[in-house]
Structure formats: structure tokens, C-alpha cells
């Protein structure tokens, strides 16, 4: 029996941080045992906002290396760079031509990012949910790991597949029922740790785009920098740490990080730290972070010392991904009526 297929990816913009690891990549590692996994570095998405072309290639390699350092195994998963598989761009164009404009205009993340960019908003920023749909649909993904901020994008991919391709262009079976051209994926709701908040604002998600470096712990931060960031993390004047108090979002976030990174779990962490002051707790949290990230940083340094090995992994991943993607693309082209390629 074939295993369910999962597709996910991260943009190579900025440095990967604790939120990326605890909210996504750590769960990907676990999925390798039970699912057929495809993980890409989504570099085409990275240029929908202003970017530094001198850094894009290096950041792409860095992100791929961190996937491996975090435990993604290229013998069990397909690891590749999005732009290395041309079918992403071609399928995105085909989907563009059947997706209503107003579906994109109502996307929440577009509205938020457009406000920040003002007159510099690109067509790519408006259209990137269609590219994301192409990313997902190309690989016949059964499941897509989603956080709260990505649910709308997965719903768009499902709507495009169901309403705009399968229902309109799917061939008919003997009973006149349409045969699916594109597989409609289901959401995979992530387990505990899916939403890591900023160190400077417990109500905002930890983000690579936050201009304040102190708001996040990057996976490659040195131990002394981690200690410094934790020491400066926003807290409150109340003695004792607890979960579930909406008036203390920073407490909930920092105690949650300790529970995850120390491996003790929420109940044991709450019991240990229930009467603790911040002066005692923050060194504990910093130590847990440093120790949790140490093996990742060591594996990253090893990978960085042998760039040919990373090249080999990405080329192997490109070949595997391209084989699957081309099958889906040709099936879609045929449904839309294109002349077959020679």
C-alpha cells in the first residue's frame, strides 16, 4: 500500500528560526517515517517582494542545508529547489488562466503585504497563491502541512483543482462523471508547537521579516547571542509562569518554548516553573535553546564544508521531483486541449 504524499517548503529569505523549525521542519522529520515526503526551497516565491539578487542563491543553499541539518533525510525524502523544476512556472500559468481575479484580491496575506509595499506591489505578489497552488498540485499531494496563516492558501488550491480544472476540463468516465485531472489535497494540521511567537511581542508570530533581530532565535545563532536575546525577551512583572492566561501572552510563549526544547512537556514545565521568577527562568530557557540547536549547527557546519554533497542531493531531488511534476503537467495540458509535445 502506497504511503500518503506530503508537500511543503520554506522561502529562502532571511534565516530560518525556531518558528520554522518547531512549527514546520521538526514535524517534516517525523513525517518521513509514515509518508512519502517532498520538501522544496521555494525560491520563486522569494522574489515576489524586493530581494537582493546577490544573496538569493546563497540563501537557497543555506536553507536546503538547514533542511538536512534538521533531520530531513534525502534517502527518504525528495529535497529540491522550486525553480529547478520548470513545471512549477508552467502549471502556475495554466492555473492563472482559469482562476478568477477576485479570488486573489480577497487573500488576507496579499492585503497585509500590499499595505507595506505601497506603490511597489508586483503582479507576482498578487499571484503567488496561484504559484503555491501549482506547487501543491504538481505533486499529487494527499496532505499539506498548514499553520493558521496558510489555511486560506490551501483552500484556494483546493478550489482551483475542484472548480476550475476538474469540474470544467476533467474527462468523463463511462457514467458521464468527470475524472479528476488534479488531486485535491487535504490539510495536515500540525501538532503542538505549530505557532511560535515573537520574543518581543507575544501576540505576533515569530517572523523572518521582522526588522528587529531580537524578535527571533535563528537556528544558526551563536550560544552567546541566544542568551542575549532571551535575556532581553519581553516579559511581565508577575511572579510565576503559567499557561493559558490571555493577559500573559509572552509567558505562555516562553514557557511553551521551554517545554518543547527541554523535552519535558507542558505539564512538567508548568510544575517546575510555576513559582519561578524571570531571573531564574530565562537562563534555563537559554540553555535549553542552545542545547537543542547544537546538533543542528554541528550538522550544518559539516554540510557547509562539502558543497558537492549538497549539490548531489539537490540534483537527485530535482530529478525525482521533475519526473512526478512532468506527469501532472502533461495531464493538465492534455485536459486543457494543448497540442502534445513532440
Tell me, yes or no, if 191 is annotated catalytic: no
Tell me, yes or no, if 205 is annotated catalytic: yes
Question: Distance (Å, rounded) from C-alpha 167 to C-alpha 276?
Answer: 59
Question: Distance (Å, rounded) from C-alpha 202 to C-alpha 61?
Answer: 31
Angle at 15 between CA 139 and CA 231, to 5 degrees: 135
Which residue of the set 62, 183, 205, 231 is catalytic?
Answer: 205
Q: Provide the pairing of β-strand 186-189 with 36-41.
A: unpaired
DSSP summary character for residue 254: H
Angle at 119 between CA 113 and CA 120, to 5 degrees: 65
Which residue of the set 183, 208, 228, 231 is catalytic?
Answer: 208
Q: Provide the pairing of β-strand 77-81 with 5-10.
A: unpaired
* 268 close to 41: Cβ distance less than 8 angstroms: no
Which residue of the set 62, 111, 113, 264 is catalytic?
Answer: 113
DSSP summary character for residue 341: P
Please, what is the end-to-end C-alpha distance for the chain in angstroms?
Answer: 35
Helices 108-117, 123-138: axis angle to 10 degrees equals 140
Tell me, yes or no, if 62 is annotated catalytic: no
What residues act catalytically? 113, 205, 208
Amino acid at each position: 500500500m502506497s504511503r500518503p504524499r506530503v508537500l511543503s517548503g520554506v522561502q529562502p529569505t532571511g534565516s530560518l528560526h525556531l518558528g520554522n523549525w518547531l512549527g514546520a521542519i521538526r514535524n517534516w522529520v517525523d513525517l518521513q517515517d509514515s509518508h512519502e515526503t517532498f520538501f522544496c526551497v521555494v525560491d520563486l516565491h522569494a522574489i515576489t517582494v524586493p530581494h537582493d539578487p546577490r544573496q538569493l542563491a546563497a540563501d537557497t543553499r543555506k536553507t536546503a542545508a538547514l533542511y538536512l541539518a534538521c533531520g530531513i533525510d534525502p534517502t527518504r525524502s525528495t529535497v529540491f529547489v522550486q525553480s529547478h523544476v520548470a513545471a512549477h512556472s508552467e502549471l502556475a500559468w495554466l492555473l492563472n488562466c482559469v482562476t478568477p481575479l477576485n479570488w486573489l484580491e480577497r487573500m488576507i496575506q496579499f492585503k497585509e503585504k500590499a499595505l507595506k509595499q505601497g506603490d511597489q506591489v508586483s503582479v507576482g505578489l498578487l499571484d503567488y497563491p496561484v504559484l503555491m497552488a501549482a506547487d501543491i498540485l504538481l505533486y499529487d499531494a494527499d496532505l499539506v502541512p498548514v499553520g493558521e496563516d496558510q489555511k486560506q492558501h490551501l483552500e484556494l488550491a483546493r478550489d482551483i483543482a475542484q472548480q476550475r480544472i476538474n469540474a470544467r476540463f476533467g474527462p468523463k468516465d463511462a457514467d458521464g462523471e468527470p475524472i479528476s485531472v488534479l488531486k485535491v489535497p487535504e490539510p495536515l494540521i500540525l501538532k503542538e508547537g505549530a505557532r511560535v511567537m515573537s520574543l518581543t511581542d507575544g501576540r505576533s508570530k515569530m517572523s523572518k521579516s521582522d526588522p528587529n533581530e531580537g524578535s527571533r532565535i535563528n537556528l544558526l545563532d551563536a550560544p552567546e547571542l541566544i542568551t542575549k536575546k532571551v535575556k532581553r525577551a519581553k516579559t511581565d512583572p508577575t511572579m510565576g509562569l503559567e499557561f493559558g492566561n490571555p493577559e500573559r501572552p509572552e509567558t505562555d510563549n516562553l514557557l511553551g518554548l521551554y517545554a518543547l526544547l527541554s523535552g519535558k512537556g507542558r505539564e512538567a514545565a508548568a510544575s517546575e516553573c510555576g513559582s519561578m521568577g524571570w531571573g531564574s527562568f530565562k537562563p534555563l530557557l537559554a540553555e535549553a535553546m542552545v542545547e537543542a540547536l547544537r546538533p543542528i549547527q554541528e550538522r550544518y557546519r559539516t554540510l557547509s564544508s562539502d558543497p558537492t554533497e549538497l549539490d548531489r542531493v539537490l540534483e537527485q531531488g530535482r530529478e525525482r521531483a521533475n519526473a512526478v511534476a512532468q506527469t501532472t503537467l502533461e495531464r493538465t495540458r492534455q485536459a486543457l486541449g494543448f497540442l502534445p509535445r513532440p
